[in-house]
Amino acid sequence: MVKEAEAHKAEDEKRKAGVEAKNQADAVIHSTEKAMAEHGDKVSAEEKAAIEAALTDLKESLDGGDAEAIATKTQTLIQASMKLGEAMYKAQSGEDDAGAGKADDGVVDAEFEEVDDEHKSA
Protein backbone atom coordinates (compact mmCIF):
# COMPACT_ATOMS: atom_id res chain seq x y z
CA MET A 1 0.00 0.00 0.00
CA VAL A 2 2.86 2.37 0.80
CA LYS A 3 4.50 1.70 -2.56
CA GLU A 4 1.19 2.26 -4.30
CA ALA A 5 0.71 5.56 -2.44
CA GLU A 6 4.20 6.69 -3.39
CA ALA A 7 3.58 5.72 -7.00
CA HIS A 8 0.49 7.94 -7.13
CA LYS A 9 1.95 10.77 -5.05
CA ALA A 10 2.88 12.96 -8.03
CA GLU A 11 -0.51 12.40 -9.62
CA ASP A 12 -2.26 13.30 -6.35
CA GLU A 13 -0.19 16.47 -5.94
CA LYS A 14 -1.02 17.51 -9.50
CA ARG A 15 -4.72 16.92 -8.84
CA LYS A 16 -4.50 18.86 -5.56
CA ALA A 17 -2.78 21.80 -7.30
CA GLY A 18 -5.52 21.80 -9.93
CA VAL A 19 -8.29 21.86 -7.33
CA GLU A 20 -6.59 24.64 -5.36
CA ALA A 21 -6.07 26.70 -8.53
CA LYS A 22 -9.73 26.28 -9.49
CA ASN A 23 -10.90 27.24 -5.99
CA GLN A 24 -8.78 30.37 -5.98
CA ALA A 25 -9.93 31.25 -9.50
CA ASP A 26 -13.58 30.82 -8.51
CA ALA A 27 -13.08 33.10 -5.50
CA VAL A 28 -11.36 35.78 -7.58
CA ILE A 29 -14.02 35.55 -10.28
CA HIS A 30 -16.81 35.89 -7.71
CA SER A 31 -15.26 38.87 -5.92
CA THR A 32 -14.37 40.62 -9.18
CA GLU A 33 -17.86 40.16 -10.62
CA LYS A 34 -19.40 41.46 -7.41
CA ALA A 35 -17.08 44.48 -7.36
CA MET A 36 -17.78 45.17 -11.03
CA ALA A 37 -21.53 45.07 -10.43
CA GLU A 38 -21.29 47.46 -7.50
CA HIS A 39 -18.45 49.76 -8.57
CA GLY A 40 -17.83 49.16 -12.28
CA ASP A 41 -18.91 52.70 -13.08
CA LYS A 42 -15.93 54.09 -11.14
CA VAL A 43 -13.35 52.85 -13.67
CA SER A 44 -12.73 53.91 -17.25
CA ALA A 45 -14.22 51.97 -20.14
CA GLU A 46 -10.73 50.78 -21.09
CA GLU A 47 -10.02 49.39 -17.62
CA LYS A 48 -13.48 47.83 -17.46
CA ALA A 49 -12.88 46.10 -20.82
CA ALA A 50 -9.51 44.77 -19.60
CA ILE A 51 -11.11 43.35 -16.45
CA GLU A 52 -13.94 41.75 -18.42
CA ALA A 53 -11.47 40.23 -20.90
CA ALA A 54 -9.40 38.78 -18.04
CA LEU A 55 -12.59 37.40 -16.45
CA THR A 56 -13.64 35.71 -19.69
CA ASP A 57 -10.16 34.32 -20.26
CA LEU A 58 -10.00 32.86 -16.76
CA LYS A 59 -13.48 31.33 -17.01
CA GLU A 60 -12.50 29.62 -20.26
CA SER A 61 -9.30 28.25 -18.73
CA LEU A 62 -11.30 26.59 -15.92
CA ASP A 63 -12.74 24.17 -18.47
CA GLY A 64 -9.25 23.08 -19.54
CA GLY A 65 -8.13 22.02 -16.08
CA ASP A 66 -4.48 23.06 -16.51
CA ALA A 67 -3.48 24.25 -13.03
CA GLU A 68 -0.61 26.42 -14.25
CA ALA A 69 -2.74 28.17 -16.87
CA ILE A 70 -5.49 28.76 -14.33
CA ALA A 71 -3.03 30.20 -11.80
CA THR A 72 -1.46 32.46 -14.43
CA LYS A 73 -4.81 33.76 -15.65
CA THR A 74 -5.98 34.24 -12.06
CA GLN A 75 -2.98 36.49 -11.45
CA THR A 76 -3.75 38.36 -14.68
CA LEU A 77 -7.30 39.00 -13.46
CA ILE A 78 -6.03 40.13 -10.06
CA GLN A 79 -3.67 42.60 -11.74
CA ALA A 80 -6.41 43.88 -14.05
CA SER A 81 -8.90 44.32 -11.22
CA MET A 82 -6.46 46.34 -9.08
CA LYS A 83 -7.64 49.47 -10.89
CA LEU A 84 -11.16 48.68 -9.73
CA GLY A 85 -9.92 48.27 -6.17
CA GLU A 86 -8.10 51.60 -6.37
CA ALA A 87 -11.24 53.31 -7.65
CA MET A 88 -13.30 51.75 -4.85
CA TYR A 89 -10.74 52.90 -2.28
CA LYS A 90 -10.67 56.44 -3.66
CA ALA A 91 -14.45 56.60 -3.62
CA GLN A 92 -14.54 55.30 -0.05
CA SER A 93 -11.88 57.69 1.21
CA GLY A 94 -13.58 60.55 -0.64
CA GLU A 95 -16.80 59.83 1.21
CA ASP A 96 -14.94 59.69 4.52
CA ASP A 97 -13.14 62.97 3.80
CA ALA A 98 -16.41 64.65 2.92
CA GLY A 99 -17.91 63.56 6.23
CA ALA A 100 -14.91 64.72 8.26
CA GLY A 101 -15.69 68.40 7.77
CA LYS A 102 -19.27 68.16 9.02
CA ALA A 103 -20.56 70.48 11.71
CA ASP A 104 -20.86 69.36 15.32
CA ASP A 105 -23.22 66.39 15.42
CA GLY A 106 -23.96 66.59 19.13
CA VAL A 107 -21.47 63.94 20.22
CA VAL A 108 -19.58 64.87 23.38
CA ASP A 109 -16.35 63.23 24.46
CA ALA A 110 -16.36 62.64 28.18
CA GLU A 111 -14.38 60.87 30.86
CA PHE A 112 -15.95 58.76 33.53
CA GLU A 113 -14.89 56.94 36.64
CA GLU A 114 -16.42 53.73 37.95
CA VAL A 115 -17.34 53.80 41.59
CA ASP A 116 -17.23 50.54 43.50
CA ASP A 117 -20.36 50.02 45.65
CA GLU A 118 -18.28 48.82 48.60
CA HIS A 119 -16.29 52.05 48.78
CA LYS A 120 -19.22 54.43 48.53
CA SER A 121 -19.82 56.56 51.53
CA ALA A 122 -23.44 56.81 52.54
- CATH architecture of the domain covering 2-101: Up-down Bundle (1.20)
Question: Each residue of 79-91: pLDDT tens digit?
Answer: 999 988 888 888 7
Question: Each residue of 62-77: pLDDT tens digit?
Answer: 887 788 999 999 999 9
DSSP sequence for the chain: -HHHHHHTHHHHHHHHHHHHHHHHHHHHHHHHHHHHHHHGGGS-HHHHHHHHHHHHHHHHHHHH--HHHHHHHHHHHHHHHHHHHHHHHHHHHHHHHHHHTPPP-S----------GGG---
Give the global pTM: 0.67
User: What is the predicted pLDDT for the residue at 8?
Assistant: 83
